[in-house]
Amino acid sequence: MATLFISDLHLSAERPDITSLFIHFLKHEARQAEALYILGDLFEAWLGDDMVLPEYADAIASMKALSESDVPLFIMHGNRDFLLGETFSAMSGATLLDDPSIIDLYGQPTLLLHGDTLCTDDVAYQQFRTMVRNPAWQQELLARTPAERLALAKQYREISQTETGNKAEDIMDVNQQAVEQLMRDKGIYYMIHGHTHRPAIHEFDIDSQAAQRIVLGDWYEQGSVLRCDQNGCELQGLHL
């Protein structure tokens, strides 16, 4: 058996094939797992637990079925679905994880995070992140009507797409110093995260201490899963 990690599915009505792939994954491979961790951006947008978009209903039901089959299911907020709350947790059967969180992965203390906090060179994004994670800002958003929230989400998405197209590639990747500092602060030298859509396994040294950072892939063109067991971890693609 293996522990599975995924992130950055960005489920939406525009890509029903990816939703179908995710549901297939939940009904088959994930049923054999020791646990499933979703490290952020499961949804393209989550505008509050009180307004679940219709295109998410089948995926949430399949998550609930997985959790009821005794496979522990954990989910972390991403930069697209940071409003996931306790009602969603009850609907899906998932346990919400703090970012970052530390787990024991087959005897290896491991840092889990979405990954956006490591992109410190993208100053504009970090300022935006600080704003939307403010409880007062979130309360104000959730007080708006569903139509207003949808309009605001569309506006932010268009702004994000424009800014992303104008930014240098390296600015949108993690800052290596930020990675190393977080590992030093936590005293843990093994990390798994998503967000950057650049799947890879990075090995390096920190003060003569061997370290490893695994980046999860996105689900835009295909699925991507990290499988970990007693023998190590492997990144693999998923197809129907």
Buried b (16+ CB within 10 A) or exposed e, 195-222: bbbbbeeeeeeeeeeebbbbbbbbbeee
d(CA 92, CA 52): 12
The CATH number of 3-117+190-238, from 2.70.150.10, 3.60.21.10, 3.40.50.10190, 2.60.40.10, is 3.60.21.10
| Whole-number pLDDT of residue 239 | 83
**Could you tell me whether strands 95-97 and 73-76 are parallel, antiparallel, or unpaired per DSSP bridges?**
parallel
| Whole-number pLDDT of residue 183 | 97
Domain ranges of the chain: 3-117+190-238
Contact assessment for residue 212 and residue 201, using Cβ atoms and an 8 Å cutoff: yes
| Whole-number pLDDT of residue 159 | 78
| Whole-number pLDDT of residue 166 | 65
What DSSP letter does each residue of 174-213 carry, written as one string? PPHHHHHHHHHHHT--EEEE-SS---EEEEEEETTEEEEE
Q: Provide the residue-wise pLDDT of the chain in tens; the chain has 240 residues.
A: 899 999 999 999 999 999 999 999 999 999 999 999 999 999 999 999 999 999 999 999 999 999 999 999 999 999 999 999 999 999 999 999 999 999 999 999 999 999 999 999 999 899 999 999 999 999 999 999 999 998 988 888 887 777 776 667 777 899 999 999 999 999 999 999 999 999 999 999 999 999 999 999 999 989 999 999 999 999 999 986
Nearest-Å Rg of the Cα atoms of the chain is 17
| Whole-number pLDDT of residue 79 | 93
Q: Which of 86, 92, 77 is nearest to 49 (CA)?
A: 86
d(CA 78, CA 10): 10
